[in-house]
Amino acid sequence: MFAQQSQPQVKVNVLNVCAPSDEEKQEISSALARVPKQPLFSPDFEVDRGRSTISGDANPTQPGPGSPAAPASSSADWVRIRREFSVQALFSTAQYSFSSDGRTMTEVLVLRVREPKDLLMLSIEDSASAVTTPAAMLSTSTPATHVKLERVGKPSVVLARCAGSEGGPPPDQSAYDSLFRGASAIMNNYRGLLDARATVPAELGRLSGKRTEPRPPARNPGKN
């Protein structure tokens, strides 16, 4: 007789992104508090732009329930800005990305820890409908909708704004308002520190072939 082979155990971690536990809430609060408001950046930096083909299943900006269905495939224009912190900082790099697929515009800020022990990476995300322009979106403080902590040897901790299911009201997330406000403030601050308001529209303009011509100098009416 053949010996019965035992099946390997599969461990599934279910993340409650709408209502993290009190311990996870504290971890998110602690990580947000450690982000420097006035960081010292090294001279090194990177600015990239591109266009990527995405499928409806893999589209990171895919609309939520109740929104129009995404096409089978589409493309997204994106701009990425990366700066390095000075060697004394907890974090090693700050990477900001902006993408637009014609329906949704998404911002993501990723801060990577220099010497990971417990925390590996913090990311903050927000999005807005593409009915407005990227420049208009960047001129306002779009509320953060997604905060994620990637940890060393542990499951990630995620907090996300959740909509109601099957037409019902959204869950009560008032206990997490301070975390969303803190994440939104960090995104707005780094949007300015990384000069995203000027860089993103300019780089997207190059992708579309539209360059902004410099304005001629204003004439002094008192001189001929």
More confident site: 212 or 73 = 73
Whole-structure pTM value? 0.80
Share of the chain above pLDDT 90, in %: 67
Among the listed residues 184, 107, 85, the one whose alpha carbon sits nearest the alpha carbon of residue 144: 184
Query: For position 8, what pLDDT does the model report?
Result: 57
Least confident stretch, 65-69, 117-121, 135-139, 219-223: 65-69
Strand ranges, E, within 70-224: 73-85, 91-100, 104-113, 119-129, 146-151, 157-160
| C-alpha dihedral, 52 to 136 to 104 to 145, nearest 10° | 110
Question: In this structure, are residues 20 and 158 in contact, taking their beta carbons and an 8 Å threshold?
Answer: yes
Q: Strand pairing of 119-129 and 104-113?
A: antiparallel
Question: In this structure, are residues 188 and 182 in contact, taking their beta carbons and an 8 Å threshold?
Answer: no
pLDDT at 49 over 80: yes
The whole-angstrom separation of Cα 103 and Cα 186 is 25
Tell me what the mean pLDDT of segment 152-179 comes to.
92
Which spans in 93-211 are helix H? 134-138, 177-193, 196-208
